[in-house]
Structure 1
């Protein structure tokens, strides 16, 4: 069995080393996104597009039309989702989400945060008379990479349960978003490939829970599970989440710490230093010139407005109203360190759509370049607006929490 470092597992999301890495990773992610947006809207755009769209398909393995951008979003990003799955597993088993009533509230908030933006888009587009209702799901997604990266940079001093709530909400949001894609936007689901992926993930779970964890065994199993998931038609990064959730979060036999903490420590640097910046660079390079008209004309297009308002307005309202209505119920519980105004700030972070929203736009308007441009512009500007609103709210909440004492046993994010 692999040797594990001799330190106790952390029962919260506040390991200093990991959070410091989050700040570095968040900075790299934001820098990569800004560079991509600049390149995509300058004379260097052809060079950027050439790299992004360069074909790296492997026909012998049935992997067709795999560009560099596809490898970034479907392949390398699975590393990040693997780490997210491990973090979520630790929170459910040993951390702040052991209480089902605490876990149920962010999950419910994720559902509310998907329903309201979908409704906003539907109302805006249907009232205009434009035939574009197939894009109703565009604003339902949260980009977990950007949201957590922004929180790492601007969330200093907030209670650690804030990040736990956001992580749970964002992961559930992504999982539900992938289900939406599978049901409404997948032409053909290859069931046997999906079954094969789940079988390999089950084998992976058996190995790690029995203590059989050499890298020469686990890494090939993870790659095979990812490949089968990709061939199934389901977004391949979901395999990363499921693999992470399979890792045991309690020490096995005489281990000093859990395998989950050991793996998280090992894989987090690769996730923060490579996976997220590469993904951001190829996901954020979207031109601002949409459709056949001017930029100002694009801002009045119903598809743009539906995507923009869904993310910037619908997402925060859906999350806030859900929490406000449910947090006093016996079945739900808001952590004592959090206030409703914290949920308002968190809703802004959840309004950062980017990757999955862009993907749904491509699936919804495949073959309609004008509508696709409007949808992409709405996602980009809506996400930017939500990010700035979130930064403003995070600063306000940081000052409010700085003046208040935290409940006993709670810590602040460094």
Structure 2
């Protein structure tokens, strides 16, 4: 079944081995990959990857199909799953989910509902007590250039309430030439462990409702490692309570030390590393964390559940951090002046464009984060801002903007809290958790 794919990957491997790639370029590519990770409640990602992402994915697939060659049992398992190439394409950036498939934890479902010319199918699932990842296919009798899932609702068949923490169902599917089918992922994660096994997935596409009943297999039990130690970068402490590893993802339970002098915004390269230096890093597409940055929170990493390393470490080298007494941006929106910002003065040229408050963000290297969080007016009232925008990085500058309601004189100046900022603390700290 995989002979043609193996031949293509063999030729691809030869091409890649003959392609000159500098270590410096690889390092920059890896750093850029970390920077693209964002904390979001709703994901609409799966953006186009650059050459280095393609290279990494290709090498991963080479290893994947090499496993098929040397393991007849695994080859038989994979060959029995219809559309396996679609699943691999969707999960290839997540080592934990790839491992789940390798260890036959992927569950084939194959439930469909058809309305008119469009059929919606739940192909399969990877699930555990805290989350469900569903793989779906939209199929049409005629070619479709643009289609998206508008709404998803998951409910337990027995009526058990689901304490949802986050959910996502990907980006719109587009093709200039049109396609007969598109595939994607639906993710649900929960605050409390799941007990039910039978569910109904209601999916809305183009105003039509599709109802698909599913029954999940038994969940594998979580692996929990008490830690109660601190990671430290330049004197700033991050207190690690425990690490919990599920089949879908790993959760690092932590709290930023309240006695820190700086506000920790983002733990940039937090990762799990085993005794062979194999790395499980941040979730690249999806929710990367939850909780309050000033108190308890969870950071989500790719899962090493199906590995049994002799040793396992939690490692951190970089974190975004700013002084607590200078941790906001204060702006007079009438005079268009920045009255206060963190050290470095990376923001300037504040202006109004197309209904947005716009800044230039100047950095020495590309910084791919939406940096703004809450907006508070002079009266202490939080202002709603519906969107943030970001231009491409060019000559050290990136335009960033935010949509704000009309602001009157008595509301000025406004204070903008920051989620991310291009200022770092560094170190070489690690904790042995196993």
Please classify the TM superposition score into its range, dividing by the shorter chain length: under 0.3
Higher relative contact order (CA 8 A, sep 6+): 1
- TM normalised by structure 2 equals 0.22
Q: Name whichever structure is richer in helix by fraction.
A: 1
Q: Name whichever structure is richer in strand by fraction.
A: 2
Higher Cα Rg, which structure: 2
